[in-house]
Amino acid sequence: MAQNLPSLCLFRILEFHSNNLLMLYRCALVNRDWCQLTIPFLWKRPFSLLHLYTPSKRLIEVYISGFSSKERKLIKNLREREEEEIPTKSLFNYVSFLRELDVAQAINCVSSWSLITSEENSILNTLPIIIIFLKHFVKNSPKISQLIFNFNFNNHLFGSIHNGCNMINWELLTYNNANNCFKKLKVLECIGDFNPKLLLICSMISKQIEKILISIYIDKNIIQYPNEMGKLQNLCTLIQVQKNLNTLIIKNVRNGGLGEHGILDILELTNEIHHSLKILYFIFVEFDNYNFIKSIKNLRNLGTLKFEYCNLSNHPLNFNDDNIEGNYYLRGLFNLKIFKSKIQIPLLTFMILQANNRLTVLDVRAEDINYHELINLLEIISQNCKNLLEFSTYIIPDYNLLPLLLPILSSNTKLEKLVIDAETENNNIISEDVNNFLPILGKHLPSSLRVLNVLTRWLFHYDSLDKFFQESRAKLEVLKLKLTNLIKDDHIEVILKHSKNHLKLLDIEGTASISYDTWDKLQQEEHLHVEFHPDIEPTMLSRNYRLL
């Protein structure tokens, strides 16, 4: 059968399973034809995938087998020792398959090989060798589509040569053949201590980037304004020249860093971005008092907008003053996420109202939101969002706010995932008695719901849980009760009785109140994965149960 499978079909199968290293290894051993199709997938991401299961020594020696005699001589002279016999010819030109270059991982790999095989114990001697390898990759790789710089010199193996590696990260783009190698770059990720020049040089070479992920500051407590401003300015230049940028992820920006003459202005004024950008994602970004809504008003195809750990609390509330009818204002938005971020409720509700029924994924876990604001927000969602597939929200415990979820559940008949969370102060989690609410919740859950994730501490008797399942039409595949610490044997019996045929994952990490017999029974459920607390031993479960 393997011999009769068309090459194109096999290629598509291998492409679909390109992250399954074990399967790729097995396919490479079937026959010669399968091997020729599989090897390019195995060596596409050598330093982020293959290196996980292949020793550095073996990986580097495979590449050395494809080195020119000049490159071999340079390495030999630098190491000042007799090299082991490494074949001068290999079955494949492995470097030609390289598509993802994780520079930090590559440097780590070469450094490890050099230290393991060298008589010298000084890591300073590895820097010239690292440069030889990187030049070889750039010169002989026909097309690198993903370039990753993730330097953390606090933990890095080569932390003592910080300055040399910091220079490598931008000089890499100036090596011989760099223009051809990175001309069709699709993904650029720059995190940690990288030189701002990298972004500027990249803007001269690569104009077809589809995804950019950039982190500005390294440590919030360490202020490096010249370096940070250099990164932001060069990022503006990089964004402006892109023709197909569809994903922009920006992390770690201090107060006002995206403002005047910055990224927000670029988003507002660059025509190419208006048509191409589909995903905009901010993490640990402080927006100061700049008008973010005005900056994204022309992004016609923006479908996903996410904020994680951001601060928009000073955003001006005059966004309604513009001529909304003449602008797009989030008219294509279907995925809105506000996670552990500070945002004024009028701004959040404006976003929701503009997207309206197009929203299919909505996360409104905004911080510092009070009782009355949450009531208003949930009412607006229930009235304007009718096509949600995923919904996540904070609920303030003991304020009788849970019933406000019911209209949202009733109006979203295709909902597949529900997350009920609670904002914590100083890691204090408030418990809430849901015995009366639980059966009502079950009755309102749409039949389409597959994931229920409760991230607050609910208290309920097993009878209430039983009524919940009796009232519910949903066939839950994932049930997470991570913080519910009073789950006992009777609760488990109820869950298994009603969900045994369809439940695939049960998270009861917060409990230690079940008996060993119940724990053992859960372990034997063939199609059910159960997440316990990692510090809980079976003997502890048994002992705790006897004490109750």
**Residue 487 forms part of a structural domain:** yes
Write out pLDDT tens, residues 147-200. 998 876 554 444 555 555 666 778 888 888 889 999 999 999 999 888 899 999
pTM: 0.88
Average pLDDT for 108-115: 83
d(C-alpha 31, C-alpha 50), whole Å: 21
Q: Is 485 domain-assigned?
A: yes
Query: What is the C-alpha to C-alpha distance for residues 431 and 205, in angstroms, rounded to an integer?
Result: 56
In the three-class reduction of DSSP (H, G, I as helix; E, B as strand; rest coil), residue 290 is classed as coil
Q: Is residue 205 part of a domain?
A: no
Residue 421 lies in a domain: no
User: For residue 18, what are the domain limits?
Assistant: 1-43
CA-CA distance, 41 to 26, in Å (whole number)?
13
| CATH number, domain with residue 480 | 3.80.10.10
* Structure confidence by residue, pLDDT tens digits, 274-288: 889 999 999 999 998
* Per-residue pLDDT reduced to its tens digit, 438-485: 999 999 999 999 999 999 999 999 999 999 999 999 999 999 998 888
Helices (H), 177-320: 178-182, 197-205, 225-240, 263-269, 271-276, 292-295
Query: Residue 184: inside a domain, yes or no?
Result: no
Tell me the one-letter amino acid at 394: Y
Indicate the residue type of 425: E
Cβ contacts of 77 within 8 Å, gap of 6 or more: none
In a domain, 380, yes or no: no
Number of domains in the chain: 2
The reply to whether 439 falls in a domain is yes
Q: How far apart are the C-alpha atoms of 369 and 367, rounded to whole Å?
A: 5
The C-alpha atoms of residue 461 and residue 23 are separated, in whole angstroms, by: 46
Q: Quick check: is 489 in a domain?
A: yes
Q: What average pLDDT does the structure give for the chain? A: 85
